[in-house]
Amino acid sequence: MRRRVVVTGIGLVTPFGVGAQRAWQAILAGSSGIRRLPQKEEFAQIPCQIAGQVPEEGEGCYDWTKFSSSDLRQTSRSVAFALTAAEEAIADSRISLGGEAGHDNVGVAVGMGMADLQDIYNTGKLLSEKRYSKISPYFVPRILTNMAAGRIGMRYGLRGPNHSVSTACTTGAHSVGDATEFIRKGWADAMVCGGTDACVSPISLAGFARLRALSTAFGDEPGKASRPFDKQRDGFVMSEGAAILVLEERELAMGRGARIYAEVIGYGLSGDGGSHMTSPDENGVGAQLCIERAMLDAGVEREQVGYVNAHATSTPLGDRAECLAIQRVFDRPIAVSSTKGHLGHLVGAAGAAEAAVTILSVHHGVITPTLNLEQTDIENRLNLVSKVTDWKDNRRIAICNSFGFGGSNASLCFANH
């Protein structure tokens, strides 16, 4: 029998602020973390004027003062978010980490979708201006996409697998799935895993805007812009943040009396195999395959799955393709919702953040709604959930989907414990 893997800790940094419970309560309340961009010259010419930024003022804001000036020189925004989310997740799990002894059987799998493009731009500008001596000696480690995993491992003395994937918007889900496999294989007894990204910068937004991927129709009503499955959807909303989970081998977690949120019972991967770099297969075949593979890995039948947390980014083509895939797999009005109406698109952190919300849904027996879903133009037989819904099944099994540019797909399957 293979080893079983459970979730014992959750940490989130999102447009709602720092804290998993803060984000969970905001989602249940039907709140949106999307706001107008700051009125700065560098954002002025970008058609999309909204984003989900981690707040730096007010209740739950990100506290930069906990970093020394030396740390700030060495640490990119995305790595800082990951360190904070990891701190919360580890404290939430009550697992004993830190100290001088180190931990040979605890590892890290944290990915990042993109390097800090603004850091690269600013450094390139210094070089073009022949100001080589002003380039930071920490420039390279600041832009390495594995540095969040590296820094977490260094902070807590973790000597298990130190792993980082960068698979665009699938990064967070791949990180959680890969960490699950490491524990199953006996390569680690526990893993700190998830994703992080900080893409709300002029150069990143400009690039996505030129792809015509971002929403532009709701500039005066930012909270209404991200609207998965809705007929008025016109693109996704860029957000930033981090999501970190603590996974443990089930018997060891139970032996130490850990609180268990859910069990990770399945992991499926696929590729679209198509010809377009940024658009999904319009028939959703790749998405269908990874959902089916996650259920096969979990050993569950389609009738046993009660909920799908969809990738659904609020794009016309992507949401339709995912609905087709889900419908073919389940062939019944299964409950489906997307978290991106509340959070926007967290890019490399999206899959892990949505996994965290799915885990909390399984744990509490509550299905979160899709914000701004008023009327769909997608022909489907699904139950597209637009209001908080009680989930009363004794055995609660959910699928969480993530799909990325380049045709990269992953699905995770969770069950209550």
Catalytic residues: 169
Buried b (16+ CB within 10 A) or exposed e, 37-51: beeeeebeebebbbb
Strand 17-18 relative to strand 307-310: parallel, antiparallel, unpaired?
Answer: unpaired
